[in-house]
Homo-oligomer: A and B are copies of this chain.
Amino acid sequence: MTIKHITRLRCVKCYKNYTLEQQYTCLVCGLEGILDIEYDYELVRKTLNKTSLAERELNHWRYRELLPISESVVLPYLQVGWTPVYQSSKVAQIIDIKDIYIKDDGRNPTASFKDRASSVGVVKAIEQGAKIIACASTGNAASSLAGFSAAVGLKSIIFVPERAPEPKITQLLIFGATVIRVQGSYEDAWWFCQKACERWGWYNRNAAVNPYLVEGKKSAGLEIAEQMADKMPDWVVFSVGDGCTIAGAWKGILEMYKIGIISRLPRILGVQAIGASPIVKAFRSQTDLVISDAQTIADSICVGEPRNWRKAVKAIQDSNGEMIEVTDEEILEAMRLAARSAAVFGEPAGVAALAGLKRAREAGIVRAKESALVAITGNGLKDVQTARQAAGSPISLEPNMDKLEKILDEQHLL
């Protein structure tokens, strides 16, 4: 098959070229050889420009020329992308920065950023004639896959590790996914899924091996560019787990620069939790990644063996960006800050980006006269259990006005 705007697929490790017939990774490098899709930007800009965008619907399919899908395919009806960007002077004041913008990607159909990738994933599966699509995940990738599979009538099979929390499993089952709870670790579930995909020819949604998925993630960057336009901030901040989200976002921003929608590029700030920061370490040491144990409350970025670290490091370097680590306490504080001062309730991995910006400002990496956009990649309702640690407690009281008055007085509410 051919897609007219796509020139080739290229291995990020050995730079070998492939055509669109190649579904997953490089034949030489195996799982380490993730492919990157390249476009003909001269051709793209002929039809994707400010004039044409003004006429298009407000969802991420508006960037169709920059997505790896053929023209004839039917798109899922769920409204995905074009999530709101809010400017918050209150948060800017608190962290001492000129301007801050918050992009609430929890407003996607299944309440996370991952809908961008899964929406492209199901389209590719249909294009290939697949009836079943699979992934190994406990989190947002899985719930978005289950949701988008329901929308297009695909069967989804999702492999989760034994310890996956019940509320997350509920989100998969309610959309009709078949959920295999693998007696073992996340790695066990991942390999079991790989093998099953190979054996039965299911479409494999794992972004670590599938080059088309990250193109969906890219739409966050495409949107940031279009939404910010002449106000493009100095920094764009994402939390980092596996690495392909931040790589995708940067690719999207860069592409909008290439086709002339924006004239100035931001620097990328990548944020990891201190207990799960192998990419920060690889970025700083400029060496290969060292696999490590991972531990953080921010489960969506709790990754000790990230598969897309090369793409992530390269994206941040290309943007003249930086990386930073934050503690779990800082993540909980950022959850309060985002909700109380900007009215956006984000999940831990989502608000980790805000925590990172605050720390980067304190460290002088980001300066007071600069501006930043922070992407909150998932809704806080996804993980209310952790939010309870950040939220504090209610005041228990009998219905007595005098007692209420005393408490209000103590809290300076009278």
In the complex the two chains form, is B340's CB within 8 Å of A398's CB? no
Of the candidates B78, B167, B384, B394, the one whose C-beta lies within 8 Å of that of A181 is: B394
Q: Which of A147, A384, A390, A392 has the most C-beta atoms of chain B within 10 angstroms of its own C-beta?
A: A384
Nearest CB in chain B: distance from A195 CB, A:
6
**Residues of chain B lying within 8 A (CB to CB) of residue A199:** 401
Do residues A160 and B343 form an inter-chain contact, with CB atoms below 8 A? no
Number of copies: 2
Please give, as numbers and ranges, the residues of chain B lying within 8 Å of A104 by CB-CB distance.
109
Instruction: List, in ascending order, chain B residues with CB within 8 A of A342's CB.
Output: 150-151
Whole-angstrom distance between the Cβ of A146 and the nearest chain B Cβ: 9
- Name the distance in Å between A97's Cβ and chain B's nearest Cβ: 18
A192 CB contact (under 8 Å) in B132, B183, B391, B404: B404
A231 to chain B, nearest CB (A): 15
Decide if A260 is an interface residue (CB 8 Å cutoff). no
Q: How far is the CA of A153 from the CA of B160 in the complex (A)?
A: 41
Report the stretch among A16-24, A168-176, A250-258 that lies at the interface: A168-176
Given the complex of chains A and B, what is the CA–CA distance between A102 and B110 in angstroms?
15
Contacting A157 at CB < 8 Å: which of B343, B388, B413? B413
Q: In the bound complex, do residue B384 and residue A178 qualify as a contact, i.e. CB atoms below 8 Å apart?
A: no
Residues of B within 8 A of A195 (CB): 401
Within residues 95 to 151 of chain A, which ones have a CB less than 8 A from any CB in chain B?
104, 107, 109-111, 132, 147-148, 150-151
The smallest beta-carbon distance between A187 and chain B, in angstroms, is 10
A147 CB to nearest B CB, Å: 5
Question: Chain B residues with Cβ under 8 A from A172's Cβ?
Answer: 394
Docked-complex contact B184 and A398, CB < 8 angstroms: yes
A182 contacts the other chain (Cβ, under 8 Å)?
Answer: yes
Residue A228, interface by CB 8 Å: no
Contact with B along A8-43 (1 / 0, CB 8 A): 000000000000000000000000000000000000
Bound complex: CA of A408 vs CA of B180, how far in Å?
10
Query: What are the residues of chain B within 8 A of A87 when measuring CB–CB?
Result: 77
A196 to B276, CA, bound (A): 48
A224 to chain B, nearest CB (A): 16
Q: Interface segment, A63-71, A361-369, A375-383?
A: A375-383
Most-contacted residue by chain B among A173, A175, A343, A395 (CB, 10 A): A343
Interface centre among A104, A157, A173, A401 (most CB of B within 10 A): A173
Whether the pair B151, A343 counts as a contact (CB closer than 8 A) is yes
* Residue of B whose beta carbon sits closest to that of A176: B340
Partner pick for A381 among B162, B379, B397, CB 8 A cutoff: B379
A155 located at the interface, meaning its Cβ lies under 8 Å from any Cβ of chain B in the complex? yes
If A184-B399, A196-B404 are given as contacts, then 6 extra A-B residue pairs at C-beta distance below 8 Å, sorted by A number, are A107-B107, A178-B411, A181-B394, A183-B398, A184-B398, A381-B382
